[in-house]
């Protein structure tokens, strides 16, 4: 079910399939709005803006916006990110992100599994604060414009998706330089890493996931643990692919909100998905073990 939603969401966000003929990006009205996940708006098929790219664009032009009195400082994108986080926490990561889906598919390749150390899970917060917020604000040219540094230096989904333009505008290939080689290297690193680790980009770099993760503890959609039903078998923790123990850590910023702990792993119905006041008990929990 989740993979089906991920595929549908990926297709829906990249539904402009006329680009091989038009040889341009989609420029229609839908691009006024952001996708909730990292989906590069320079992907020729993208029909929505990327929230990270949009946020950086606004932050990079704060000084000119103030100087010229437009005051377009990115209020709407901040409000949008706040709203997505408040409703679902990292739900968008687990269910809607195309790059997350790609990493999960790569992780299905049979290989040894390497669990990502917890210390690396702080890096996304550094990327968010440094590359997404501070550098675009601080490093500006003579006209007062900054750069989208996260896009420029690392963003693997952007490298992958924007590279689609090289297929339709071959002239752009002549302008490739060390910057592209660096970004392609970062992308290759994460795609290779995804074979042995579960969604390494999401766990160690994604600033958007870091931001949404801050809302995991109080979002409308969340996982709830019922100690009365729990038999402490530990199946949820053993099954969690980001190495959390959902009995204690269901509000952790690292939780991708895949809900597999509640819907696949807990045999006792002790973990439930909650949407505000509504509770959805695990459908796969055997009925005989639900009541205790």
Partner 1 sequence: MSRWWWAGALAAAALIALGGWLGEPGQALRNASDVCLACMGIG
**How many residues bind partner 1, per CB under 8 A?**
57
Least distance (Å) from partner 1 to the CB of residue 124?
Answer: 19
Stretch that binds partner 1, among 8-16, 92-100, 137-145, 165-173 (CB under 8 A): 165-173
Cβ 18 to partner 1 shortest distance, Å: 15
**Residue appearing with tokens 């916006």:** 65
Name the one range near partner 1 by CB under 8 A: 9-17, 89-97, 179-187, 241-249.
179-187
* Strands laid side by side in the 278-281 sheet: 221-225, 271-275, 278-281
Contact 121, 132 (CB under 8 A): no
Beta carbon nearer to partner 1, 49 or 263: 49
Contact indicator for 242, 255 with CB cutoff of 8 Å = yes
Q: Binder to partner 1 among 6, 13, 14, 54 (CB under 8 A)?
A: 54
Q: How far is the CB of 3 from partner 1 (least distance, A)?
A: 27
User: Is 276 a binder of partner 1 (CB under 8 A)?
Assistant: yes
**Whole-angstrom Cα distance, residue 196 to residue 212?**
25
The answer to whether residue 70 forms part of the interface with partner 1 (CB under 8 A) is: yes
Going by DSSP bridges, is the β-strand pair 278-281/221-225 parallel, antiparallel, or unpaired? Answer: unpaired
Cβ-proximal residues to 109 (8 Å cutoff; 6+ apart), any chain = 195
Q: How many CB atoms lie within 10 A of CB 143?
A: 9
CB of 50 to partner 1, least distance (A): 7
Cα(212)–Cα(206) distance, integer angstroms: 10
Segment interacting with partner 1, rule: CB under 8 A, options 10-18, 22-30, 247-255, 259-267: 22-30
**Using CB under 8 A, which of the segments 66-74, 192-200, 230-238, 253-261 binds partner 1?**
66-74
CA-based nearest residue to 199, from 101, 274, 126? 101
Answer for which of 9, 37, 77, 93 binds partner 1 (CB under 8 A) is 77
Q: Report DSSP state, residue 115.
A: P
- Determine if 182 is a binding residue for partner 1 (CB under 8 A): yes
- Tell me the HSE value of 124 on the side-chain side, using a 13 A CA sphere: 20
The Cα 254–Cα 26 span in angstroms is: 33
Query: Quick check: 22 and 165 in contact, CB under 8 A?
Result: no
* Least distance CB 140 / partner 1 (angstroms): 15
- Among 16, 19, 58, 193, contact with partner 1 (rule: CB under 8 A): 58
Q: Binding to partner 1 by residue 34, rule CB under 8 A?
A: yes
> What are the residues binding partner 1 (CB under 8 A)?
25-27, 29, 31-34, 40-42, 46, 49-50, 53-54, 57-58, 70-72, 74-80, 82-83, 86, 147-148, 151-152, 155, 158-159, 161-163, 165-166, 169, 172, 175-177, 179-184, 218, 220, 276
């Amino acid at each position: 079910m989740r993979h089906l939603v991920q595929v549908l969401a990926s297709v829906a966000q990249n539904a402009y399939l006329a680009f091989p003929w038009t040889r341009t990006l989609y420029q229609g009205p839908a691009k006024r709005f952001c996708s909730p996940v990292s989906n590069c708006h320079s992907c020729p098929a993208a029909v929505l803006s990327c929230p990270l790219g949009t946020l950086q664009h606004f932050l990079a032009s704060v000084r000119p916006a103030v100087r010229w009195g437009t005051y377009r400082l990115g209020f709407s994108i901040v409000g949008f990110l706040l709203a997505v986080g408040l409703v679902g926490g990292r739900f968008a990561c687990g269910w809607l992100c195309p790059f997350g889906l790609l990493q999960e598919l790569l992780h299905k390749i049979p290989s040894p599994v390497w669990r990502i150390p917890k210390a690396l899970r702080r890096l996304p917060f550094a990327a968010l604060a440094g590359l997404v917020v501070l550098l675009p604000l601080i490093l500006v040219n003579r006209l007062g414009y900054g750069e989208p540094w996260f896009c420029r230096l690392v963003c693997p989904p952007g490298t992958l998706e924007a590279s689609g333009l090289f297929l339709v505008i071959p002239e752009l290939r002549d302008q490739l330089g060390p910057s592209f080689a660096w970004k392609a290297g970062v992308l290759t690193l994460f795609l290779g890493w995804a074979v042995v680790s579960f969604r390494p980009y999401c766990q160690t770099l994604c600033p958007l996931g870091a931001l949404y993760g801050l809302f995991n503890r109080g979002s409308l959609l969340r996982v709830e643990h019922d100690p009365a039903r729990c038999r402490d078998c530990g199946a949820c923790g053993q099954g969690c692919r980001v190495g959390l123990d959902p009995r204690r850590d269901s509000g952790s910023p690292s939780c991708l909100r895949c809900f597999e702990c509640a819907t696949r792993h807990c045999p006792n119905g002790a973990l439930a998905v909650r949407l505000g006041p509504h509770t959805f008990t695990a459908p796969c929990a055997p009925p005989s073990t639900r009541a205790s």
